[in-house]
């Protein structure tokens, strides 16, 4: 049986970590979606330098551990007088890492749109940017909602990287509670429940949005 006194006696620490996790996740979701969209456009842009920038970024950050990115931001940037605290470094690492995966998902959606739509938009006088913004991206994002939802859920779980940087998230608070109470199983079960409180509504919302968009097509 779970010892619920662990939860009640340390409620303030759990709640503090819970809200820090939510905040960093929201910042990460917004930042990685914006950056990922820009990178996806770079990958398919008719300008070679943009292609190179997008390709190098995506292939580099998709193939190195999130932990390395976080440690680099936290420990290496101060050597060039760019000091980030644990929360800032962890959140920025989440954005940098997740945006590479989101970019590939959105790029796949863009490539699934018939090229004739782009050609028609350009021939009607729209610029490349306007074509992407008003014609292609809205359709592409609808198509890739399931993989985007999976990436967003992964981002929430990956936010536990902040623990390593002592940023006060759920896992960090759990480590403190475990050290203080000498209890491990119960402490981390409650942490898992808090994570489910975040990820289950997110997953449900993505599924609802996917079905709603499918009905509207």
- Domain holding 59, by residue range, is 20-169
Which pTM does this prediction carry? 0.91
Residue 152 belongs to a domain: yes
Please indicate whether residue 213 or residue 18 has the higher confidence score (pLDDT).
18
Task: Check whether 103 has a pLDDT greater than 70.
Answer: yes
To the nearest whole percent, how much of the chain has pLDDT over 70?
99
User: Closest by alpha carbon to 178, among 194, 164, 189?
Assistant: 189
Residue 193 belongs to a domain: no
Q: What is the mean pLDDT of the chain?
A: 91
Q: Which tokens go with 115?
A: 């090229």
CATH of the domain at 109: 1.10.3720.10
Task: Check whether 77 has a pLDDT greater than 90.
Answer: no
pLDDT tens string 109-143 = 999 988 888 888 888 888 888 888 888 998 888 88
Residue 197 belongs to a domain: no
Task: Check whether 16 has a pLDDT greater than 90.
Answer: yes
Instruction: Tell me the CA distances in angstroms from 9 to 6, 17, 187, 196, one per residue in order.
Output: 6, 15, 11, 21
Instruction: Please report the pLDDT score of residue 109 as a whole number.
Output: 92
Task: Check whether 156 has a pLDDT greater than 70.
Answer: yes
Residue 9 belongs to a domain: no
Task: Check whether 22 has a pLDDT greater than 70.
Answer: yes
Residue 9 and residue 4: Cα distance in Å, rounded?
9
Residue 208 belongs to a domain: no
Domain count, the chain: 1
End-to-end CA distance of the chain: 49
Residue 188 belongs to a domain: no
Residue 27 belongs to a domain: yes
């Amino acid at each position: 049986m779970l010892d619920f006194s662990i939860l009640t006696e340390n409620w303030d620490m759990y709640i503090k970590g819970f809200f820090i996790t939510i905040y960093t996740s929201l910042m990460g979701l917004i930042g990685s979606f914006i950056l990922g969209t820009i990178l996806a456009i770079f990958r398919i842009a008719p300008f070679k330098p943009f292609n190179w920038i997008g390709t190098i970024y995506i292939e580099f950050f998709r193939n190195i551990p999130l932990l390395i990115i976080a440690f680099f931001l936290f420990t290496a940037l101060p050597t060039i007088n760019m000091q980030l605290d644990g929360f800032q470094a962890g959140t920025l690492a989440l954005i940098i890492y997740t945006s590479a995966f989101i970019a590939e998902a959105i790029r796949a959606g863009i490539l699934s749109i018939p090229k004739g739509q782009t050609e028609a938009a350009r021939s009607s006088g729209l610029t490349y940017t306007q074509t992407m913004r008003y014609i292609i991206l809205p359709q592409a994002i609808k198509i890739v909602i399931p993989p985007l939802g999976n990436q967003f859920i992964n981002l929430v779980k990956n936010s536990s990287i902040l623990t390593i940087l002592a940023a006060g998230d759920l896992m960090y608070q759990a480590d403190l509670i475990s050290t203080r109470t000498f209890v491990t199983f119960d402490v981390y079960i409650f942490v898992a429940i808090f994570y489910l409180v975040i990820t289950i509504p997110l997953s449900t919302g993505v599924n609802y949005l996917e079905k709603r968009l499918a009905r509207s097509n």
